[in-house]
């Protein structure tokens, strides 16, 4: 007869490595393990507000993360169970009924990391053995409470890899051509030991040797979609922060410059839709006050044109109510200013 185990909790704001350790150990002790994500959204929002450092994460995401974490464990099943929190023992009782219904068979073992739960589980799950795993938190010295009170960045190493992309900060660097975006993005990625996303438009047009005389309207959605794909890929590798060279506003900006047909209506409405959907934590806008360099794909080198284009790009950002930090000065000053703002973002 197979042995059925249960391991449950709110796992708020996310299943951390202490949870993963307990689940993995539990999975070796039974033939079938059921991970229960209990939730009460309104109660959880108040709990996160009290902690102050992490926004509430919907239970569906916590279930998704558990499913990712256990996808190679066919004998581990994940369930979501609503458990109203009023502070009464009846909460436990209703929760236990929901858990039993979700599992649908007798529970032989209940796992937790709390010795104090033994009398509670004896009453709720008569006949089941309570096994306590790492009550001293010696394997991973972490708790959901500490993360909510101290923030995710302080405990980054306690976040499973499948969860980290959700909390990684995204910093996008924008500006007109030849204003140092690529240099700054690469330097910041090196300083923060993380990944970055290059401007895909440059890659796209390098195969033609230029873009002024070959660009067509269909290029720009393709550039934007491909760029977003690379953002998704690199976000999986990011260490706390991902640096991104340009985005859909800049792509829309270049479509105007090279196609010269945007008047009162957008020439690329699909780009405007991408702009509305994209989300970044920090925008760094580079002023065109460094030397213009002709790399073979650039066109607008005269300073008066650079200034005009700079104003136009800012107007596009205002059109979409995008707030940004202006960065100017030489390359050293730009790096210092950007470093300050990124640190401020991460530490907040």
Give kind and range of the element (H or E) at residue 99: helix 89-103
CATH number for the domain spanning 215: value is 3.40.50.300
Exposure class string for 291-329: b at 16+ Cβ within 10 A, else e: ebeeeebbebeeeeebeebbeebbebbeeeebebbebee
- The answer on 71 and 115 residing in a single domain is yes
Say if strands 282-286 and 325-327 run parallel, antiparallel, or are unpaired: parallel
Which pLDDT does position 302 carry in this prediction? 66
Same domain as 29, residue 56: yes
End-to-end, the C-alpha distance of the chain in Å comes to 52
Q: Residue 112 has what pLDDT?
A: 97
- Say if 67 falls within a structural domain: yes
175 and 313 in a single domain? The answer is yes
Q: 281 lies in a domain?
A: yes
- Rounded to whole angstroms, the Cα distance separating 65 from 250 reads 33
Q: Based on the domain organization, do 122 and 177 belong to the same domain? A: no
Of 155, 179, 209, the one marking the end of a domain is 155
Domain boundaries, position 84? 4-155
Look at the block and give the residue holding tokens 């059925």.
4
Number of domains present in the structure of the chain:
2
Helix/strand/coil for 52: coil
End residue of a domain, out of 126, 155, 184:
155
Helices (H), 137-199: 144-150, 164-167, 181-191
**Per the domain annotation, does 162 fall within a domain?**
no
Query: What b/e sequence results for 129-147 when a residue is b if at least 16 CB atoms lie within 10 Å of its CB, and e otherwise?
Result: ebbbbeeeeebbebbbebb
57 domain residue, yes or no: yes
* Domain membership flag for residue 177: yes
pLDDT of residue 110: 98
In angstroms, rounded to a whole number, what is the distance separating the alpha carbons of residues 176 and 257?
11
> Quick one: 22 and 68 in the same domain?
yes
Domain match, 138 and 184 both: no
224 with 328, same domain: the answer is yes
d(CA 205, CA 216): 11
231 and 276 in a single domain? The answer is yes
> 337 in a domain, yes or no?
yes
Q: Return the bridge partners of 203, or none.
A: none
The answer to the question of residue 161 being in a domain is: no
Per-residue pLDDT of the chain (348 residues; tens, 9 = 90+): 679 999 999 999 999 999 999 999 999 999 999 999 999 999 999 999 998 899 999 999 999 999 999 999 999 999 999 999 999 999 999 999 999 999 999 999 999 999 999 999 999 999 999 999 999 999 999 999 999 999 999 999 999 999 999 999 999 999 988 788 999 999 999 999 999 999 998 888 877 766 666 788 889 999 999 999 999 999 999 999 999 999 999 999 988 887 764 444 456 788 989 999 999 999 999 998 876 655 554 555 567 778 888 999 999 999 999 999 999 999 999 999 999 999 999 988
Final residue of a structural domain among 125, 155, 185: 155
Q: Answer yes or no: do 127 and 178 share one domain.
A: no
234 plus 208 within the same structural domain: yes
Q: What is the pLDDT of residue 264?
A: 44
| pTM of the predicted structure, to 2 decimals | 0.89
Torsion of CA 117, 120, 122, 128, to 10 degrees: -60
**Which own/partner pairs from 109-113 qualify as long-range (CB within 8 Å, at least 24 positions apart)?**
109/3, 109/4, 109/5, 109/6, 109/26, 109/29, 109/30, 110/5, 110/6, 110/7, 111/5, 111/6, 111/7, 111/22, 111/23, 111/26, 111/29, 111/33, 112/7, 112/9, 112/22, 113/18, 113/22, 113/137
**Same domain assignment for residues 128 and 186:** no
Residue 163 counted as domain residue: no
Together in a domain, 172 and 147: no
């Amino acid at each position: 007869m197979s042995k059925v185990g249960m391991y449950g909790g709110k796992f708020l704001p996310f299943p951390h490595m202490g949870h993963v350790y307990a689940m993995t150990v539990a999975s070796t002790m039974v033939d079938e393990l059921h991970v229960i994500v209990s939730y009460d959204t309104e109660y959880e929002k108040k709990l996160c507000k009290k902690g102050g450092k992490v926004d509430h994460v919907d239970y569906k995401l916590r279930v998704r993360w558990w499913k990712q974490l256990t996808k190679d464990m066919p004998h581990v099943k994940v369930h979501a169970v609503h458990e109203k929190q009023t502070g009464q023992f009846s909460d436990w009782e209703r929760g236990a009924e929901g858990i039993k219904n979700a599992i649908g068979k007798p529970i032989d073992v209940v796992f937790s990391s709390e010795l104090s739960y033994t009398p509670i589980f004896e009453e709720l799950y008569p006949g089941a053995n309570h096994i306590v795993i790492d009550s001293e938190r010696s394997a991973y010295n972490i708790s959901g409470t500490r993360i909510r009170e101290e923030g995710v960045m302080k405990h980054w190493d306690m976040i499973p890899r499948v969860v980290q992309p959700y909390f990684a900060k995204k910093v996008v660097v924008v500006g007109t051509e030849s204003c140092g975006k690529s240099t700054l993005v690469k330097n910041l990625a090196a300083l923060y030991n993380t990944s970055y996303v290059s401007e895909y438009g440059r890659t796209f047009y390098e195969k033609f040797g230029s873009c002024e005389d070959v660009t067509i309207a269909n290029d720009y959605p393709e550039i934007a979609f491909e760029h977003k794909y690379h953002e998704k890929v690199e976000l999986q590798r990011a260490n706390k922060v991902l640096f991104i060279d340009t985005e859909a506003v800049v792509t829309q900006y270049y479509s105007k410059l090279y196609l010269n047909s945007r008047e009162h209506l957008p020439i690329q409405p699909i780009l405007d839709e991408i702009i509305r959907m994209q989300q970044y934590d920090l925008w760094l806008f580079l002023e065109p006050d460094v030397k213009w360099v002709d790399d073979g794909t650039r066109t607008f080198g005269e300073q008066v044109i650079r200034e005009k284009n700079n104003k136009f790009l800012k107007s596009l950002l205002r059109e979409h109510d995008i707030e940004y930090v202006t960065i100017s000065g030489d390359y050293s000053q730009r790096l210092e200013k950007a470093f300050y703002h990124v640190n401020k973002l991460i530490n907040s």
